Amino acid sequence: MKKINLTLLFAIIIFSNLFAQNEVKIGEQIWMTKNLDVDKFRNGDPIPQAKTAEEWKLAGKNHKPAWCYYNNDPNNASKYGKLYNWYAVNDKRGLAPLGCHVPHDSEWKELVNFLGGHYEKEESEIEPANKIKSKNGWGVFKSGGGTDLEYCSRCSGMGKEPDENGRYITCSACNGKGLVNVNYAAENKSGNGDNNSGFSGLPGGFRGQDGKFGGVAESSNWWSSSENYTLGSWFCVIDIKKGIRKTYAYKESGISVRCIIGEDLVQEIIPNEVIIGNQTWMTHNLNVEKFRNGDPIPQAKTAEEWKKAGNNKQPAWCYYENDKENGFKYGKLYNWYAVNDSRGLAPIGWRIPSDSEWIQLANFVNYDVSKLKSKSGWFGFGNNGNDETGFSALPAGFREDYFGEEIKFSEQSSQSCWWSSSLYKRNADFAMSNIFYKPSNEDNFKIWHKKNPKLEGLSVRCIK
């Protein structure tokens, strides 16, 4: 029989016990009870530390991962963990330790709703926040106080009081009006919770994209792995006064991370095509840089190159803001001369939809754009779709070029804009397009069939 290494066995038992002490089961989820405090990705690569505001801002500007201590003080790490920008959270090398993952927005929702909250509401909620907050470590806040109107106690709200002979005289407190101003002193209240869930949420504060710190002892903030729109992502916040709610922050912000046990099983698998009615559509925007015959489509890397291509009626493409990262998510933007080129922009087996085919799609969903919009990526509360059809429209924005007057990128995170293959019959300089947009004076998104100058850069979505 082989001898058992008792020292190793004892170490394994101790480690297992410590790991178990750092986790808690809440509903069907198992959460870590401390904020993340790692300085290496899962693969062993170091995560760059930003030791100054300048280093922090530079990392955000370049979309690079970074971490810091609150107030750049290492003593805060043992209590609050580290603060990470979202580029660290979303890095493919893995921020969460093996066996854990950064929770999706839907997993934060599951937690809060299990504790009696309504995570999708814009208003903060006190009850679930108290169950998540630690029993100590939170600051004190003022509650109540101020001035209010009450009925005068001297005349019972009648505005008069009797004298010694039973005659009524005007009350000196309210001058016969019955109401008086009453001043109430504010009450000091503790921000500590009851931690009934065992989550042990401490108020670790945050770091803004400008490099400034704030909120320690007053707020807990935890990233989700879910992107809200191009510049921001969802996170969960507990405010000392208001409670818990869902909101979003710039990706350059420094926010705590609380991991959930288990590998990430919430993966959105998007097929390449989807049948909607009797049409078959691509589920993503076109991202090709060659025509069907193999010829390259010229890339316009500057406003001048874009303008020149349009003036010469030549095909061109670009990335939104000339940033290659946008191409991975949103595809490329093409002028209409690329769309209409005889060499073929659409891949083999596909074509550019006509305006009538776009109208057919809109009619099939009864112009309910939420059925075509993606479930995430749209700026602001309530603006994401339900993607009932699987069309998965993302707000890629477009490149404006109204005949050279002004060339600029616009409306990413708030509009989808696609070319059709149809000309605008009344003016040969325009072609028809289809836009998902939200009018400034309305609450809901609309589908707009409109004309655009052929010079502009729009997305392309193909149909079979």
Cα separations in angstroms, 61 against 35, 150, 240, 251, 417: 25, 55, 31, 10, 27
- The pLDDT value recorded for residue 399 is 93
Q: What is the pTM of this model?
A: 0.60
Q: Are strands 407-410 and 160-162 parallel, antiparallel or unpaired?
A: unpaired
- The pLDDT value recorded for residue 12 is 40
Task: Report residue 86 as tokens.
Answer: 């979202």
Cα(first)–Cα(last) distance of the chain, in Å?
68
Helix (H, G, I), strand (E, B) or coil at 369: helix
278: left (phi over 0), alpha (psi -120 to 50) or beta: alpha
- The pLDDT value recorded for residue 451 is 86
The answer to whether the beta carbons of residues 189 and 143 sit under 8 Å apart is yes
* Residue ranges of the chain whose pLDDT lies below 70: 1-21, 122, 156-170, 176, 229-231, 265-271, 381-382, 403-406, 438-443
| CA 283/CA 463 separation, integer angstroms | 10
Q: What is the DSSP code (8-state) at residue 355?
A: H
Q: What is the DSSP code (8-state) at residue 353?
A: P
Residues 6+ apart with CB under 8 A from 21: 33
- The pLDDT value recorded for residue 314 is 96
Task: Report residue 229 as tokens.
Answer: 């729109």
- The pLDDT value recorded for residue 310 is 92
| CB atoms inside a 10 Å sphere around CB 152 | 22
CA-based nearest residue to 253, from 226, 214, 219: 214
DSSP string, 233-261: EEEEEEETTTEEEEEEEETTSBBB---EE
Task: Report residue 91 as tokens.
Answer: 């890095």
CA-based nearest residue to 208, from 253, 149, 147, 263: 253
Amino acid at 62: N
